[in-house]
Each structure stands twice: as structure tokens, then as C-alpha cells.
Chains A and B, each alone.
Chain A
Amino acid sequence: AQSVTQLDSQVPVFEEAPVELRCNYSSSVSVYLFWYVQYPNQGLQLLLKYLSGSTLVKGINGFEAEFNKSQTSFHLRKPSVHISDTAEYFCAVSSSGSARQLTFGSGTQLTVLP
């Protein structure tokens, strides 16, 4: 069985500061990893994904994430956040390569303060 743990439920940060949202997963097989963003009263939008290859993945809106197999982590980072980055962020893992097996974390609410 696979699982995803997002270690922080709420992350407040000042505008233009860097941010890291943490995600750890457990799976006994190879994984595919995703970060989704949800703006208020919206559906989920894909930020970035790791399927194979380079462990540093760049996504939209200046976000990036690093896949660390030894630490079973996929932390999301942005060097300088904006007010508009305020949203909920979900980490997800698929271990079979099929969307049927997509398991989501509980989410991290990022609040960017002026």
C-alpha cells in the first residue's frame, strides 16, 4: 500500500520570502509523484510531476520540487512567493503508473502575508 504525508497543514510566509512545503511518501515499488494546487473554490490544477529522469522538476508559477528516493521525499519549493500563491497544495503519489492508484496527502494551506 502507498501513502502520502504532508508534514505541515498550515504554512504562513511573508511575501517575497522562500517557501518549502514538505511531502513524504511510502511505497514498496517505483513511484510517480505530483503536486497539485487548489485556489479557493476551484478544482485542482497540476503544478508539476515526476515520472522519471532528472530528480529536480520544474513546474508552473516558478515552483520546483526534488525527488529524493533515499529519503522518500518530494518537497515543493519556491524562492520568492507572491500573494497570489496563497492556496492549498496537495502532494500525490501513484505507484503503479495508473491514475487509479493516485493517493493524495491531506494538503498544506500556504498563506502569503503582505
Chain B
Amino acid sequence: DVKVTQSSRYLVKRTGEKVFLECVQDMDHENMFWYRQDPGLGLRLIYFSYDVKMKEKGDIPEGYSVSREKKERFSLILESASTNQTSMYLCASSLLGGGMNTEAFFGQGTRLTVV
């Protein structure tokens, strides 16, 4: 089974803190993603990576950065957490290319609360 593991299920951080959300996948997938999920808004793509050290901005990258030093690991960084970043964060991975490879596999999610 494909497994995407997010390091924390729940996090509570203070405004201004630097926050790291970690994601690891065990299926040798090239693509990795970070999404943010908010009620009524569905999933919005924050950042995407298709290879080690490669990244692309998604739809809502402001206030976030990412790091991909190894193929299996993709980190989301909140440089200075703010209350409007309180949300559910979902990591996903997929194979490179289209067609049958389009399916994305998701982690369990990290519910982040910034106080």
C-alpha cells in the first residue's frame, strides 16, 4: 500500500513562531504536494515539487515555503505563523506524468491551530 505519513496529527503554535510540517512517502513518487483545507473552500494547493530541490508555487503560496532535500520527504514551513494560517494541512504524492499516474495519495492531515 502507498503510504504518505505526516509527522503530526495536531499542532498548536503561537503567533510568530516558525513551524515545520513534515511529510514522508514510501512509494518512490516524484511529485509531492502541500494543500490547505478550509470549510467551504475545498483543497487549495500551496506548493508542489516534482523532484528533489525543485518546487513550484501553487495557488496560495504567500506566507509559506517548502523544502525537498530527499525524494521521499517534503516539508512545509511557516516562517512566522499567523492566526489566519489555522487550518488543516494535507500532504499528497503521485507519480510523474499523466494518465494512470494522475491519482494523488494523501496523508492523514495535520490540524494546525495558531494562537
Interface residues of chain A, those whose CB is within 8 Å of chain B, are 4, 6, 9, 32, 34, 36, 41-46, 49, 51, 90, 94, 96-100, 102, 104-107
Contact = CB atoms under 8 A, between A and B. Distances in A.
B106 A51 contact: no
Interface residues of B, number: 31
Contact of B4 (A43, A94, A102, A106): A43
Label chain B's interface by main secondary structure.
Answer: strand
Contact of A43 (B44, B45, B90): B90
B103 A44 contact: no
Contact of A99 (B41, B42, B101, B109): B101
Nearest to B50: A100
A106 B37 CA distance: 9
Contact of A42 (B99, B104, B108): B108
